[in-house]
Structure 1
Amino acid sequence: MNRILSAVFATALSILTPIAALAAPLVAKVDISSQTMTVIYNGEIAYQWPVSTARKGKYTPRGQWSAKWLSKNHKSSLYDNAPMPYSIFFNGNYAIHGTNQISRLGRPASAGCVRLHPEHAAVLFNLTQQVGKQNMRVVIQN
């Protein structure tokens, strides 16, 4: 009986955790398989944009996080000062940010970050500033 209850609890937790994340005022939900981001603002789908996540040999983490810090005009300290406009850091060195490689959006191309068109990155960055980092969730799944 204990094992059954544990299994039921684990299943419920795996289902409810993503639902709880989606209850945040702002959610950037990234689907690795379709290379898209769906932005949910106050419970409504506000935007759906193409993204680029990790290319072969690199990795974009899966899971959910709140925004940790923002940097409007960030330059990569890991990749030759590559421009990362409107960066929203969510997990260590991983961020959602704009890219100048717009033609590569919609397919894997990054070193692990989630790349967006710079105009879309600016919209998400501004929304994150409005709701506050603690009220923004990043959800990345396959």
Structure 2
Amino acid sequence: MVMMPPPQAQPRPIPAPQPSPPMAAANHEQGANMGFIAHDLAKRFPAYSADRFLLVDASAQTMQLVENGRVSGEWVVSTALKGVGSRKGSEQTPLGVHRIAQKIGAGAALGTIFKARQNSGRIANILTRPDQDSSEDNVTTRILWLDGLEPGFNKGGSVDSYERYIYIHGTDEEGKLGRPASHGCIRMRNRDVMELFDRVGEDTLVVIAARKP
């Protein structure tokens, strides 16, 4: 079950991915779950295609690309160090359904540092050990800028993901991937975000979910 929206918001929650069942049933269970999510997205957001969407699991620190009900790609990510939440200034990763509003950085070299979504012309030193800290919260290689689709939950007012500059992006702290580490965004390996950038378009739906403890 995903974490529920605040009292003033009433979007119907998307279910989080379930823990892996025994191997013999894993593919069937996963397919059923992804199919349910796709059906729910198609019903609630008919203006967008549910044939291809991204599913971010903030509990497992993974992101999956789902195409026609099947997982066609999976990557390790980092969501926010401070957990999940939508409030401006919280430095948390927002839950719920988003869309890719803008893709930024096509053609930029691996490790390119972006400042305010502009190519700085600098290349980051990619840190690969978990104990290494970057001197900056660098956004590198590619940017997928997210726009919330659930008013009062991740869109509008003080909970607007787009106005909070929530991205999927590359990071120079690759050694921290697989555990919460960001200031709200969804971080990826630089080669992974290059691959993802080429596989999805603007208006692709992005579901961010987390299991309750």
TM-score range, shorter chain: 0.7 to 0.9
Partner of residue 118 from structure 1, selected from 172, 180, 190: 190
Letter in 2 for 1:94: I
Question: What one-letter code is carried by the residue in structure 1 that aligns with 2:202?
Answer: K
Mark the runs of 5 or more structure 2 residues left unpaired by the alignment.
1-9, 15-35, 43-48, 83-89, 118-134, 148-161
> Residue by residue, what CA displacement relative to the aligned partner does 1:65-107 show, whole Å, maximum 9, x if unpaired?
1110011156243996823321110131001111121110000
**Identical columns (%):** 30
Equivalent residue, structure 1, for 2:145: 89
Whole-Å separation in 2 of the counterparts to 1:27 and 1:121: 15
Q: Which structure's residues are more often strand, by fraction?
A: 1
Aligned residue number for residue 3 of structure 1:
none
| Per-residue deviation, 1:14 | 4.6
1:60 and 2:116 are equivalent in the alignment: no
Alpha carbons of structure 1 residues 47 and 137: separation in structure 2 relative to 1, 3 Å:
same
- 2:53 alignment counterpart: 27
Cα distance in 1 for partners of 2:101, 2:171 equals 20
Q: Which amino acid is 1:85 matched to?
A: T
Give me the whole-angstrom Cα distance separating, in 2, the residues matched to 1:81 and 1:109. 10
Instruction: From the two aligned structures, give the one with the greater helix fraction.
Output: 1
Shift of 1:133: 1.2
AA in 2 matched with 1:120 = D
Instruction: State the TM-score, normalizing by the size of structure 1.
Output: 0.75
Instruction: Name the count of aligned residue pairs.
Output: 128
Calculate the TM-score normalised by the size of structure 2.
0.52
Residue 202 (structure 2) aligned to one of 123, 133, 136: 133
The answer on whether the counterparts of 2:104 and 2:144 sit within 8 Å (CA) in structure 1 is yes
Q: Which runs of 5+ in 1 are unaligned?
A: 1-9
